[in-house]
Amino acid sequence: MQIKREDLADRHIGGNKWRKLKYNLLQAREQQKNTLLTFGGAWSNHIYATAAAGKYFGFHTIGIIRGEAHHSLTPTLQFAHDCGMQLEFIDRQTYRDRTSTQLLETLHKRHGDFYLLPEGGSNRLALKGCAEIVTDIESQFDVITVACGTGATLAGIISALDAGQHATGFAVLKGADFLIDDVSRMLAVIEHPPADNWHIELDCHFGGYAKTSPELIAFVRQFKSDFGIELDAVYTGKMFYGLFELIKQGIFERGTRIIAVHTGGIQGNAGFPELIRD
């Protein structure tokens, strides 16, 4: 097994977030947009990366944050604020309608012209960027694995596979069957023909998004001790745990060449004191 270290691309906007942002930032420049507006939660890797990208490349950024404002910000939101991101909190019901024309019109009236990045940065241009995860790999492989939140990174990877290669996504949300349809729809948008060279593992969520267990925490800590590579408890920890379980079960034929994609997200570990203690 090999690990594709997307997390090493940049300290703040590395991982799959940089892949998703790359062509969106170029599009924003082409459209002469000076402001990026996007959505996310209090621990969102996407909010974190967008704020950093705005600071690096000279965009004003606005983060529409799910939930009520608290007296103190999470480390993620504090970082975003320090990068210059304007934070606006909306209630969860309104957040559910984040793609509605009515809400977007309201935001345009309030903030003027902006380039819209969807939650997680997941759109057609994001898939184009994520496809380069595969095209950048020089070694031959049979299976490539990645953690799944929205499914956009997986869809981008699938779109770049050669004949005989297979992609496996590991859902980090509970009850994530819907991701199968979501990924299929994303592939249809980029006119990728239906294929059976991918699937999503649905049983490695440890209770749901950002949920953990002592077993997962122990695995993440042991992984760092054994290999010197830090994982996060929300995405990559669950993916590697699930991959190791499949290997133990003999799911892969002997000699199968596996590449596991490390999509970053280490900043989220600030929310898990048991991972950052000495």
The residues facing 5 across adjacent strands are 262
Please, which pLDDT band fits residue 58 given cuts at 50, 70 and 90? very high
* 182-205 pLDDT tens trace: 999 999 999 999 899 999 999 999
Average pLDDT over residues 59-79: 93
What predicted TM-score, i.e. pTM, was given to this entire model? Answer: 0.93
- 275 pLDDT above the threshold of 90: no
Please, which pLDDT band fits residue 27 given cuts at 50, 70 and 90? very high
Average pLDDT over residues 169-187: 95
| Percentage, residues of the chain above pLDDT 70 | 99
* 32-52 pLDDT tens trace: 999 999 999 999 999 999 999
* 112-165 pLDDT tens trace: 999 999 998 889 999 999 999 999 999 999 999 999 999 999 999 999 999 999
> Rounded to an integer, what distance in angstroms lies between the CA atom of residue 70 and that of residue 182?
33
Letter string b/e over residues 200-212, b meaning 16 or more CB atoms within 10 A of that residue's CB: bbbebbbeebbeb
- 278 pLDDT above the threshold of 80: no
Please, which pLDDT band fits residue 277 given cuts at 50, 70 and 90? low
pLDDT at 69: 85
Please, are residues 48 and 266 in contact by the beta-carbon 8 Å criterion?
no
- Strand 198-201, strand 60-66: pairing: unpaired
